[in-house]
Amino acid sequence: EVQLLESGGGLAQPGGSLRLSCEASGFTFSSHSISWVRQAPGKGLEWVSDINSSGGTTQYADSVKGRFTISRDNSKNTLYLQMNSLRAEDTAVYYCAREIRYCSGRKCSGPSSDYWGQGTLVTVSS
Amino acid sequence: EIALTQSPATLSLSPGERATLSCRASQSIRNYLVWYQQKPGQAPRLLIYDASNRATGTPARFSGSGSGTDFTLTISSLEPEDFAVYYCQQRSDWYTFGQGTKVEIK
């Protein structure tokens, strides 16, 4: 069974730091890109960042670029999100999600997020 | 950045009725459009990828259509478990989400 388990959320002060983790099981972690998506209380979904299967390519939303760093340790089946210079507007539930492309022969679909963790709440407040 | 606009914000329908949700992109995204369902307190669930392909486990009453800038998610006959919030996401250039459409019981 595919599982993704986020941890590391909690209360942080403005300007502070937190590191989120996402532990994966039930699939070959090193074969998949993984994304972080967040959801502020009562609001919609916001893509934050993603990383390819090897960890060599990363992307960030403009809202977190330069403050957040995504990384992964394929030997530990774990994804990370280092969050620095936190702001009140970073308050949200943070989800990790497995990326997949459906392939038939040599033709593959665009990416989509097929499995999600249950999320970890980050609250930034003084 | 490509923006996605979902309409309506809220759809009030009864079980058994047909639901039609719209997602419009600010520029062409070809068919790189994904639909998710989210229920309160739960993580999103993948429904449709590449605008019209049902993901594994998605019931046949869900269908997606469109390409370029205009996309539609149709639920042919609403079941009680379908009342939820639905998000579209573009996968063409970065990965932005629409603001969501809430399908509520009338």
Which tens digit of pLDDT belongs to each residue from B67-101? Answer: 999 999 999 999 999 999 999 999 998 899 999 99
Residue of A92, A7, A103 lying closest to A41 (CA atoms): A92
For residue B27, which amino acid is it? Answer: Q
Cross-chain residue pair A45–B91, CB shorter than 8 Å: no
The CA distance from A32 to B95, in Å, is: 17
Q: What is the pLDDT along chain A (126 residues), one digit of tens a residue?
A: 999 999 999 999 999 999 999 999 999 999 999 999 999 999 999 999 999 999 999 999 999 999 999 999 999 999 999 999 999 999 999 999 999 998 888 899 889 999 999 999 999 999
Say whether residue B53 is in contact with chain A using an 8 A CB cutoff.
yes
Mutate to test the interface with A, among B34, B94, B95 (most CBs of A within 10 A): B95
CA angle B87, B90, B91 (to 5 degrees): 130
Q: What is the pLDDT of residue B94?
A: 82
To the nearest whole Å, the CA of B12 is away from the closest chain A CA by 19
Q: What is the pLDDT of residue A36?
A: 98
State what percent of residues in chain B have pLDDT above 70. 100
Q: What is the pLDDT of residue A104?
A: 87
Residue of B23, A57, A19, B67 lying closest to A9 (CA atoms): A19
Say whether residue B2 is in contact with chain A using an 8 A CB cutoff.
no
Residue of A79, A72, A97, A46 lying closest to B49 (CA atoms): A97
What is the arithmetic mean of pLDDT over B31-52?
Answer: 97
